[in-house]
Structure 1
Amino acid sequence: MSEFFYLIPISIVLGLIGLLVFLWTLRNGQYEDLDGASERILYEDDHPRSERWES
């Protein structure tokens, strides 16, 4: 039972750290362009594997 006195504050601190990291990513714009990566992979120039390694 005494372990709970250690585990509860540790879990609260870890939860607050996770919340702060999430808020930091929101503030820095990590979630602004969610469709960009999925569209970029479709429109990139594709080169065959043999041409890519020749140069």
Structure 2
Amino acid sequence: MENSRGTKWICATRSTTKCRARVRTKDNALEVLHEAHNHQMSKRQRERAKSRRTLS
């Protein structure tokens, strides 16, 4: 969701896990709105995160 305060990012599994984790970005700044996830990462998510770290 975008507005004048920036872009809000929510957990991709919010609808199934009711996870409240979210952050906001604006002008290359990151604001953590709710840090903790209420679930573990799936095997697929762990593999994707590992791949992203390798590419960086």
TM-score normalised by structure 1 residue count: 0.27
Tell me which of the two structures has the higher relative contact order, counting C-alpha pairs closer than 8 angstroms and 6 or more residues apart: 2
TM-score normalised by structure 2 residue count: 0.27
Higher radius of gyration, 1 or 2: 1
